[in-house]
């Protein structure tokens, strides 16, 4: 169960969040919990969660160890700060920062090089779903960004399916739509990497996940977790999502 804080919170707000959140999930051992704050809050987040069952991740990385890339952050830096995860190719990065499939492959490899688990996002836009092209779009994202990985690389990633039309809109995919799409993604994994890989890969659903809809989504066979935006900003609501 992962939270993506996007561009919200200051370091002081980050510490206050974890002061409240940590005791609420202290007894949880049946799932992995991760929060991905913005870069400037990572140190506060890692410091606040040391010794707890909460892992911290970045929201992006640049695919080089270091260099003249003004404004960018590397996997080496995330690892050195104590991060365990990094989100790759969130739809907002695809839309506003023009990230494409070739970037996904490079970023996944850069993350793995520094022992970070990449949470790789794929998802279709509203017009793509409405025109019946969901599987074409997801298939292209999978074929371009994930299929080129080696089986060993692929075994270390987490996939997040986030329909763009459900992000921040309050319009969640129905459990049935999410399940059908997750099953399609799992079939792509099976075709590319085999049945064992398909069964072992964690596929998170993201898009307006809230305490009151998480249980139904999670009851679907192919939904293994959630990537939560808005509802992860409040300690009580994210704890309720984690403990659905």
| Contacts to ligand 13P by CB under 6 A | 4, 90, 162, 167-168, 206-209, 227-231
Residue nearest to ligand 13P (CB): 229
Q: Which is nearer to ligand 13P, 65 or 171 (CB)?
A: 171
Paired with 58 in beta bridges are 86
Instruction: Work out how close the CB of 145 gets to ligand 13P at its nearest, in angstroms, rounded to a whole number.
Output: 16
Where are any strands of DSSP class E within 158-221? Answer: 158-161, 203-206
Distance (Å, rounded) from C-alpha 143 to C-alpha 131? 21
Query: 165 near 125, Cβ under 8 Å?
Result: yes
Q: Which is nearer to ligand 13P, 1 or 46 (CB)?
A: 1
Q: Which is nearer to ligand 13P, 60 or 74 (CB)?
A: 60
Query: 161 near 204, Cβ under 8 Å?
Result: yes
Residue in the structure block whose two tokens are 């799409």: 181
Which candidate, 122, 119, 121, 160, places its Cα nearest to that of 36? Answer: 119
Q: In this structure, what token pair is assigned to residue 86?
A: 């990094």
Three-state secondary structure call for residue 203 = strand
Q: Which is nearer to ligand 13P, 198 or 211 (CB)?
A: 211
Instruction: Work out how close the CB of 229 gets to ligand 13P at its nearest, in angstroms, rounded to a whole number.
Output: 2
Instruction: Work out how close the CB of 172 gets to ligand 13P at its nearest, in angstroms, rounded to a whole number.
Output: 8
């Amino acid at each position: 169960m992962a939270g993506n804080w996007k561009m919200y919170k200051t370091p002081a707000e980050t510490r206050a969040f974890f002061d409240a959140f940590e005791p609420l999930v202290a007894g949880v051992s049946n799932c992995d919990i991760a929060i991905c704050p913005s870069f400037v809050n990572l140190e506060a987040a890692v410091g606040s969660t040391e010794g707890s069952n909460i892992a911290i991740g970045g929201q992006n990385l640049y695919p080089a160890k270091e260099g003249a890339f003004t404004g960018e952050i590397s996997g080496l830096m995330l690892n050195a700060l104590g991060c365990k995860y990094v989100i790759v190719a969130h739809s907002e990065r695809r839309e506003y920062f023009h990230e494409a499939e070739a970037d996904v492959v490079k970023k996944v490899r850069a993350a793995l090089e520094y022992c970070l688990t990449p949470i790789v996002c794929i998802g279709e836009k509203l017009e793509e779903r409405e025109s019946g092209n969901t599987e074409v779009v997801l298939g292209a994202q999978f074929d371009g960004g994930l299929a080129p990985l080696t089986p060993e690389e692929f075994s270390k990633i987490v996939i997040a399916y986030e329909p763009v039309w459900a992000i921040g809109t309050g319009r969640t995919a129905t459990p049935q739509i999410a399940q059908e799409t997750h099953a399609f993604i799992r079939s792509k994994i099976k075709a590319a990497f085999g049945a064992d890989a398909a069964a072992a890969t964690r596929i998170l659903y993201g898009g307006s996940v809230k305490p009151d809809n998480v249980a139904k989504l999670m009851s679907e066979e192919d939904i293994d977790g959630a990537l939560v935006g808005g509802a992860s900003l409040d300690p009580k609501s994210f704890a309720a999502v984690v403990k659905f």
